[in-house]
Amino acid sequence: MSEIQRLNFLLFDARNYEGITLEHREDVQAAVDILFVRADHLKSVYPDPDVFKPSRGVIESLDEIVGLTDAYLTETDADYGAFLTQLIDASDRSRRSLHTYLTTLSRESEEITARQTDALLSKTRFLWVAVAALSLVGLVAISLLRREIVARRAREIAEENERFLAFFDPLTKLPNRVQLQNKLAQYLEGRTKTAVAIVDVDNFKSVNDTYGHAVGDDVLRYIAEILELPAKTLNGFAARLSGDEFAVVLPTDDFAKLSEYCRAVISRAARPHKVGNDTITTGVSIGLATTSQISTSRQVEMSWILRAADFSLYRAKAEGRSCYTFYDNDLAAQLEERNAMLEDLPSAITNGDLKLFLQPKVSLPDRAITGFEALVRWQRNGQLVSPVQFITLAEESGLIIDIDKHMLSEAAKTLADWNKLHGTNFGVSVNLSGTHFANMQVVELVRAAIEKSGITPSLLTLEITESVQLNDWALVQNILCAFRDLGVKISIDDFGAGYSSLAYLRAIAADELKIDRSLVSEIHESEEAAFVLDSVVDLAKNLNMDVIVEGIENEDQARRVFDLGVSKAQGYLFGAPVMAKDALRNATAYQTEKRTAVALR
């Protein structure tokens, strides 16, 4: 190995050498001193730089580094930033001239005679020291610079992240709701013909439950990709709204083009998609609305077009999923009605237009009425509106909290008064929306209803549906514990209607399981439904829960569920929900009828 190659390796090693920091000022000073001496020596060896030109650059840059470092190390309040920049520049120049010097030297060394060996050795010795010292200075500079760069980069990354999170969804990298609104506002202000599509992943919850969240995330990324590429081709964009909901904005109101986009997206989404070891098949439902459908004369309001597209999505889902639906006149009328309801609902609560209806609950062995379920009705424009039409609306707008509060206090008061007045011991079940499980306020609501009405807490049952999300697991447990401390009972409503899971049953640890009427209505036609019902009854018994079946409409059903071991029931057979004031009279008549029937037997 030639001396020159050895020097190159040394240089390489020196560059990779870690750990030279500001604390090693003395080392730097020593290296610079050596450099100074050697540069001086080099000048004396080559008094006329023209004789050996390449060395001139090295000498100059070495001089510069020495001067700079000396100045920086001796001055107490030297400008560190400026020093660093100059040092890096000088260092770079020095490296470049050193490289030229070494290659020239290498070329020359081939022709060098034995006479010149001594001279060369002296040069290479100088170079060894020069390179090592230069590397040392360079490394200190690089290490300082690196620190500065790392800190600045960290700051930039944090700022970039913040900017990104404000406008983009970190999972799919698509624009988020904020950016969607900004961009859509521009389209609408500019009166561009625009279509908004709201896209929902079919059965996403079951993908998450079955395969886990990592696979769920992958599916969302996959759907994002499917939506984004063709949207860009049409000069539009896709955004993620929340969970499994996306929006696509396209600058067109051409139904043919939009239909083509939707068909392409739906068919791509339906293709089996490989995630790890699993092959997943998903589907998407799409609801669309265009600006021209809403207004051709005025600028379209953003909330209108978004709601219109959302409304179309409901219908796409109702039509069996994996399909797309356009907004139309029917939906427009429904949407208008919905907006009107939303406007009227707050005053309905305060004006007392929400009425308490009660439906009896019976014990199956003796058919005696044990209590009632409280169900709300809205007296609106001379008609009674079913809760099916406004509960979801109330949940979305947050008004459900006041509705449930009202129903809870009315129901507790009515039943407490009856029991006191007639010496009865009727219980009452009240429906609680999942919305309440976002904070502890619901506990105060229940406590206040008990205190104000004077009802025996064990006669009050809170029916909660499986839609209660267990995201904040600790909070849900705290609420349930507080309910238990109050002495009220918990019932899981609509069990078997869709999302039943054993994990949910264990987590909630309720007193009662209420089996959804869809299971009851099927027990005659389907052996499977009977089997499921049988298993659920067994399960509930093992978990120490009472079982109540709802939706019993005939004797046959009553007998079937009784034979399966169900002890309590509710349904039109025993009484439909009626105004509270009629419920007691009906109940008394029912009990008398029942007693007569038993006496006649």
| Closer residue to ligand C2E in complex, CB, 24/355 | 355
Shortest separation between residue 333's beta carbon and ligand C2E, angstroms: 22
Q: In terms of Cα–Cα distance, which of 362, 282, 366, 262 is closest to 595?
A: 366
Cα distance between the two ends of the chain: 117
Number of C-beta neighbours around residue 560 at 10 A: 18
DSSP element (H, E) containing 127: helix 117-167
Question: By the criterion CB under 6 A, which residues form the site for ligand C2E?
Answer: 359, 375-376, 386-388, 391, 400, 403-404, 407, 431, 433, 493-494, 517, 550-553, 571-572, 577
The structure tokens listed for 129 are 């020291």
DSSP element (H, E) containing 460: strand 460-465
The structure tokens listed for 241 are 């709204």
x-marked contacts with Ca ion along 458-477 as a string, rule CB under 5 A: -----x--------------
Q: Hey, CA dihedral for 587, 589, 594, 595, is it positive or negative?
A: positive
Q: Which residues, in sequence order, are CB contacts of 93 under 8 Å at separation 6+?
A: 57, 61, 64
| Closer residue to Ca ion in complex, CB, 244/493 | 493
Contact present, 428 and 460 (Cβ < 8 Å)? yes
| Closer residue to ligand C2E in complex, CB, 223/558 | 558
Shortest separation between residue 408's beta carbon and Ca ion, angstroms: 13
> From CA 85, how far away is CA 568, in angstroms rounded?
84
Shortest separation between residue 388's beta carbon and ligand C2E, angstroms: 5
SS3 per-residue string spanning 341-388: HHHHHHHHHHHCCEEEEEEEEEECCCCCEEEEEEEEEEEECCEEECHH
Shortest separation between residue 247's beta carbon and ligand C2E, angstroms: 29
Q: Which of Ca ion, ligand C2E, none sits in contact with 359, Cβ below 5 to 8 A by type?
A: ligand C2E
Among 202, 244, 466, 493, binds Ca ion (CB under 5 A): 493
Shortest separation between residue 372's beta carbon and Ca ion, angstroms: 11
Is position 512 an interface residue for Ca ion (rule: CB under 5 A)? no
Contact present, 418 and 424 (Cβ < 8 Å)? yes
| Closer residue to ligand C2E in complex, CB, 202/494 | 494
Q: How far is CA 573 from CA 75, 114, 420, 567, in A?
A: 99, 120, 28, 15
Q: Which of Ca ion, ligand C2E, none sits in contact with 565, Cβ below 5 to 8 A by type?
A: none
| Closer residue to ligand C2E in complex, CB, 194/433 | 433
Shortest separation between residue 288's beta carbon and Ca ion, angstroms: 33
Among 124, 290, 409, 431, binds Ca ion (CB under 5 A): 431
HSE, CB side, 13 Å, CA atoms: give it for residue 147.
Answer: 12
Shortest separation between residue 387's beta carbon and ligand C2E, angstroms: 4
Q: Which of Ca ion, ligand C2E, none sits in contact with 283, Cβ below 5 to 8 A by type?
A: none
| Closer residue to ligand C2E in complex, CB, 218/494 | 494
Helix 441-453, helix 473-486: angle, nearest 10: 10
The structure tokens listed for 218 are 């992958």
| Closer residue to Ca ion in complex, CB, 175/571 | 571
Q: Which of ligand C2E, Ca ion, none sits in contact with 577, Cβ below 5 to 8 A by type?
A: ligand C2E
| Closer residue to ligand C2E in complex, CB, 238/513 | 513
| Closer residue to ligand C2E in complex, CB, 87/362 | 362
Among 316, 494, 549, 575, binds Ca ion (CB under 5 A): 494
DSSP element (H, E) containing 526: none
What are the strands, taking DSSP E only, across 206-342? 237-242, 245-250, 273-275, 278-280, 284-290, 324-326
> From CA 431, how far away is CA 387, in angstroms rounded?
11
Stretch touching Ca ion by CB under 5 A, among 18-26, 83-91, 274-282, 488-496: 488-496
Shortest separation between residue 373's beta carbon and Ca ion, angstroms: 6
Shortest separation between residue 269's beta carbon and Ca ion, angstroms: 33
Beta bridge partners of residue 374, listed in sequence order: 358, 430
Q: Which of Ca ion, ligand C2E, none sits in contact with 376, Cβ below 5 to 8 A by type?
A: ligand C2E
Shortest separation between residue 483's beta carbon and Ca ion, angstroms: 16
Q: Which of Ca ion, ligand C2E, none sits in contact with 169, Cβ below 5 to 8 A by type?
A: none
Q: Which of ligand C2E, Ca ion, none sits in contact with 571, Cβ below 5 to 8 A by type?
A: ligand C2E
| Closer residue to ligand C2E in complex, CB, 208/359 | 359
Stretch touching Ca ion by CB under 5 A, among 24-32, 59-67, 392-400, 427-435: 427-435
DSSP state of 300: P
| Closer residue to Ca ion in complex, CB, 45/391 | 391
Chain residue at closest Cβ approach to ligand C2E: 571
Contact present, 463 and 491 (Cβ < 8 Å)? yes
At 447, the amino acid letter reads: R
At 228, the amino acid letter reads: E
Q: Which of ligand C2E, Ca ion, none sits in contact with 511, Cβ below 5 to 8 A by type?
A: none
Instruction: Name the residues that contact Ca ion, by CB under 5 A.
Output: 431, 463, 493-494
